[in-house]
Structure 1
């Protein structure tokens, strides 16, 4: 029974709360080692059970032998009575009584062994069921621990990557701002050139009809008027 005392001590408590509370490597390792030791104790209990079952079988064989001996001596006692050997018959009857006593003792031992066997089988079945539940909880605890580790790793990774992404975004914004500044400067330069540069004067001369472009336009108009007034086919512009 000492084996089962160790098992019950090792597996005491609510297995669900034990399984749910395991979230670190040390606790998981300790819990797993306890289960390994509990399994070893159950294996030892099974060996003890086989020893008790062997004793029960031996007691059964001894009971069979004693019953055979008792029948044999009873037959001899009857033969002695038939031959009027009362003293001998009484001596044989004493032998039969001794055998009956031994038979009773063996029967009691067999019944005790049977009770131990039934109790051990129940305890082993219960211990194995408890172990299975603990192993299930251990597997869940390991899975939970893996999830926690993965979550922590992802969080750390995202934190580091997040700072890198933020830095990259800031760099992109600076580039965009620099490009916008350059476009604004170019546009401002064009505005200033239109207000203070040579283009301003050219635009004013053009608006007044002065300059090479204005003369060319006047020449074209004069040529067209001449062709319109000339009789016959229109003159070739290249022949004038």
Structure 2
């Protein structure tokens, strides 16, 4: 097989697959349109039925008219015979024969119309029943499709790997990580300040007893002891008075 033929087959296959995908994606709309087309066809059939029924009624009236004419001409032929008008009676009999032939044709036509009417009524009745069933099915199909869309939406929002809630959770996790990183940075900065900053130097000086605050505790304690000794030497004169 030549390359061009293979390419042609490939193109036909691609067109078929695209067509099938389009049909599948719009199956509900196509189904609904098919139902509308069927209802339109039934409406046309109803119009045809009314036309056939009208023909049936017209043929019934024509049959009654012909029967009346046959009866009238038979009476005239009888009257002609009673008056010895044999030639005229034969002519009237010929007219009766023509009317009877026409009556036979009308009777056959009427019977045919009756059959067609009955058949069309049955077909329309069956078609309308099927359309009602399809309309119920399309309602169910639309409802099911709505449920599937809602389910898919919930799944995409909650359960799927690319769901919105999962994405929100990831966003929250990134915020927490930034906060933790910021907290760690602040803690590290304080620790670094204590170790190598000015506070670290002051702490080292105080620990070595260097600086204005190095012996403040000892000075305070010495001052308190001096006051205590003075109080003892003065006989407790410096003691605070106790209210009676």
Q: Distance in 2 between matches of 1:80 and 1:182?
A: 137
Change in CA separation of 1:76 and 1:224 when aligned onto 2, cut-off 3 Å: same
Q: Does 1:166 align with 2:143?
A: no
Q: Does 1:183 align with 2:187?
A: yes
Change in CA separation of 1:29 and 1:216 when aligned onto 2, cut-off 3 Å: closer
SS at match of 1:74: helix
Q: Which has the higher contact order (CA 8 A, sep 6+)?
A: 1
The equivalent of 2:123 in structure 1 is 123
The Cα of 1:48 is off from its aligned counterpart by 2.0
The Cα of 1:56 is off from its aligned counterpart by 0.7
The equivalent of 2:219 in structure 1 is 215
Q: Distance in 2 between matches of 1:198 and 1:225?
A: 33
Aligned residues: CA RMSD: 4.3
Q: Larger deviation: 156-165 or 102-111?
A: 156-165
Kindly indicate whether the alpha-carbon contact (under 8 Å) linking 1:39 and 1:131 is maintained by their aligned counterparts in 2: yes
State TM-score, norm by structure 2: 0.62
State TM-score, norm by structure 1: 0.63
Task: Map 1:130-209 to 2 at 5 A.
Answer: 130-138=130-138, 140-141=140-141, 151=152, 155=156, 159=162, 162=166, 166=170, 169-170=173-174, 172-184=176-188, 186-187=190-191, 190=194, 193=200, 197-201=204-208
Q: Distance in 2 between matches of 1:89 and 1:229?
A: 183
Q: Does 1:66 align with 2:69?
A: no
Kindly indicate whether the alpha-carbon contact (under 8 Å) linking 1:73 and 1:92 is maintained by their aligned counterparts in 2: yes
Change in CA separation of 1:228 and 1:106 when aligned onto 2, cut-off 3 Å: farther
SS at match of 2:134: helix
The equivalent of 1:52 in structure 2 is 52
Q: Distance in 1 between matches of 2:24 and 2:136?
A: 15
Q: Distance in 1 between matches of 2:233 and 2:58?
A: 150
The Cα of 1:23 is off from its aligned counterpart by 3.9
Change in CA separation of 1:212 and 1:44 when aligned onto 2, cut-off 3 Å: closer
Change in CA separation of 1:173 and 1:84 when aligned onto 2, cut-off 3 Å: same
Kindly indicate whether the alpha-carbon contact (under 8 Å) linking 2:80 and 2:86 is maintained by their aligned counterparts in 1: yes
The equivalent of 1:38 in structure 2 is 38
Kindly indicate whether the alpha-carbon contact (under 8 Å) linking 2:35 and 2:131 is maintained by their aligned counterparts in 1: yes
Change in CA separation of 1:66 and 1:228 when aligned onto 2, cut-off 3 Å: farther
Structure 2: stretches of 5+ with no match in the other structure = 1-22
The Cα of 1:212 is off from its aligned counterpart by 2.8
